[in-house]
Amino acid sequence: MSSRISLTRYLVEQQRVDGLIPSQLRLLLEVVARACKGISQSVNKGAIGGVLGSADTENVQGEMQKKLDIIANEVLIEANEWGGHLAAMASEEMDGIYVVPNRYPQGEYLLLFDPLDGSSNIDVNVSIGTIFSVLKKPEGPAGQNNGVSEQDFLQPGNKQVAAGYCVYGPQTTLVLTVGDGVAEFTLDREQGSFILVEDNIRIPEDTREFAINMSNMRHWDAPVRRYIDECLAGKEGVRGKDFNMRWIASMVADVHRILTRGGIFMYPWDKREPEKPGKLRLMYEANPMAWIVEQAGGAATNGKQRILDIQPTQLHERVSVILGSKNEVERVTTYHTSQSLRQPQTE
Ligand code: AHG
Ligand code: MN
Ligand code: MN
């Protein structure tokens, strides 16, 4: 069918018409999409592919790794290291940065990823995904490590040149932004390519649906508690309407629902580990999702400031996340900024 637009054609057209995507970036995005296809195949095989269960190792953040966390990380590295588009990569599953080896050509981009998001859902056959962010390597003298350092990665999210995620669910869906709105592609398995299904996703500004891990309620700070209490009060409360709740425990799947029908997602700072700003990681979870959400007309803050304006100080830095339908995110953020009580957050 000639009306079907593949990811390749979409990227070429964006490059030609809008001049938004330089050739290196276009090829890089195609390679990431190809890697996601490979991960999707492993996910689909499940137990018969021997990919389920724990790898019995820990990552730098002290989290137990699943076999698929490691497989997805390797697929992304092997697909991306030789093409000449990248200078280096960083991942949730690697302590430090991975510099493209000398035997391969060096490119001008930096790729960050959460290879497998929603690890606790792998073995129970619930949607999981991959999240990625692309930055430009700052200009600098060629030195050790081909002139790339961890410092080069520590750029605020507003410097991203591309961001996306792939959900491995009932369908395999890739969502992408290069700063000109948000496009969605579904994998056609017979044809082996991602097909454009929506090229201007918009998140409704209002919602009646929230996503938060309610089991942490007793640990929340006052503004989050207030917001959720008001949602729970429903029609009879100050909001004057009933709210629904969803929590998939895979950020990709929760964010994808919000892109599809609106909603608010929160993983806020809480008192369990007061010295940590939150659970989710700024550079390869919060930043790409925040940009996608903003590009779709939503908002994303840490309760106090726009996530995309946070200056990172560490590769694996954590952050409070409040994102989704604009008016709801602004409401929770106002509750934080107007709070004059109790202990301050650690940010
Ligand atoms: P990851 O699997 O990459 O470590 O990320 C899991 C994250 C995120 O996807 C999800 O929203 C959240 O952790 C779920 O946390 P809880 O298990 O505390 O609900
Ligand atoms: Mn994750
Ligand atoms: Mn992960």
Centroid of ligand 1 to alpha carbon of 108 (angstroms):
31
Residues framing ligand 1 (Cβ under 6 A):
63, 92, 114, 117-120, 213, 249-251, 267, 279
pLDDT at position 142, please? 64
* Nearest C-alpha neighbor of 165 from the set 112, 98, 202: 112
Instruction: Give pLDDT tens digits along the chain (347 positions).
Output: 458 999 999 999 988 877 778 999 999 999 999 999 999 999 999 999 999 999 989 988 888 899 999 999 999 999 999 999 999 999 999 999 999 999 999 999 999 999 999 999 999 999 999 999 999 999 876 666 778 999 999 999 999 999 999 999 999 999 999 999 999 999 999 999 999 999 999 999 999 999 999 999 999 999 999 999 999 999 999 999 999 999 999 999 999 999 999 999 999 999 999 999 999 999 999 999 999 999 999 999 999 999 999 999 999 999 999 999 999 999 999 999 987 444 444 44
pTM over 0.75: yes
Q: Which atom of ligand 1 is nearest to the CA of 247?
A: 19
pLDDT at position 18, please? 73
The dihedral over CA atoms of 18, 193, 293, 252, expressed in degrees to the nearest 10, equals -160
pLDDT at position 3, please? 82
pLDDT at position 174, please? 98
Residues, Cβ < 5 Å to ion ligand 3: 92, 114, 116-117
Pocket-testing residue among 251, 281, 285, ligand 1, by greatest number of atoms within 8 A of Cβ: 251
Note the residue count of the chain.
Answer: 347
pLDDT at position 80, please? 98
Pocket-testing residue among 58, 130, 279, ligand 1, by greatest number of atoms within 8 A of Cβ: 279
Other C-beta atoms closer than 10 Å to the C-beta of 57 total 12
Q: Measured between alpha carbons, how far is 10 from 17 in angstroms, rounded to an integer?
A: 10
pLDDT at position 79, please? 98
Domains present along the chain, CATH in parentheses:
7-198 (3.30.540.10), 209-342 (3.40.190.80)
pLDDT at position 1, please? 47
pLDDT at position 262, please? 98
Asked if 86 and 130 count as a contact pair (C-beta separation under 8 A), the reply is no
Q: Residues 30, 34, 37, 39: is their CA dihedral positive or negative?
A: negative
